[in-house]
A = this chain, B = another copy of it.
């Protein structure tokens, strides 16, 4: 892909109870890529208020342990030239009030995108939008039974680190998003670029999309 055709405008969605690494894993890879390639990031949420990893259902073990990230756009003000959209998962996605507006935004925006990437149960959100109907996709293996219930018209792949179907890249749980983004960077920007960024991050990639011992570990197969 020639330099001028490379994607520049990346969007990510946040909602209360998102899983931190689902977003920060892929974004930090792109943070490093942004030193050598022009990239613009839009962080999109229901409002411009900071979005917390915490939500009503996530309080456990009496812990007070959460982080908040600041959005740059709302669903109403998101730029209309995003080429890539990244959707995280997280326990928050299981409660409709947390993802209010997310499913509608994804459904409406998808036709404009060149790529849509999901991490963990982010694929359940994409499935709810109908975009995954008839497509192959994967998701978090510990949550796989719940994910499948969200849309039975998706061809859910139980054993895969990530799955590519057309312009939709879905990954398995949490950390798998880092391998997903490196695979995507390798495909779009070149494997040499992906290797340089991974080495810069001192990350040992899992490069086989079919290798997934967590499918057995969590009973998804």
Identify which of B31, B37, B65 contacts A30 (C-beta below 8 A): B65
Also in contact, A40 and B24, with CB within 8 A (given A70-B70, A202-B173): no
Q: Hey, what's the 0/1 contact readout for A75-91 against B, CB within 8 Å counting as 1?
A: 00000000000000000
Which residues from chain B contact A58 at a C-beta distance below 8 Å?
35
Q: How many residues of A contact B (CB 8 A)?
A: 52
Also in contact, A174 and B67, with CB within 8 A (given A38-B61, A202-B141): no
Identify which of B60, B64, B201 contacts A41 (C-beta below 8 A): B64
A20 in the interface, Cβ–Cβ < 8 Å? yes
Task: For residue A33, give the distance in angstroms from its CB to the closest CB of chain B.
Answer: 8
Which residues from chain B contact A24 at a C-beta distance below 8 Å?
20-21, 24-25, 28, 67
**Chain B residue with Cβ nearest A202:** B173
- A203 CA to B142 CA in the complex, in Å? 13
Which residues from chain B contact A37 at a C-beta distance below 8 Å?
61, 63
- A140 CA to B31 CA in the complex, in Å? 16
Which residues from chain B contact A61 at a C-beta distance below 8 Å?
34-39
Task: For residue A158, give the distance in angstroms from its CB to the closest CB of chain B.
Answer: 13
Residues of A within 8 A of B (CB): 10, 19-21, 24-25, 27-28, 30-31, 34-41, 43, 50, 53, 58, 60-70, 140-142, 172-176, 178, 199-204, 206, 214, 217-218
A selection of 13 A-B contacts at a CB cut-off of 8 Å is A20-B27, A21-B24, A21-B201, A24-B67, A25-B25, A35-B60, A36-B61, A37-B63, A39-B64, A41-B66, A69-B69, A199-B214, A199-B217
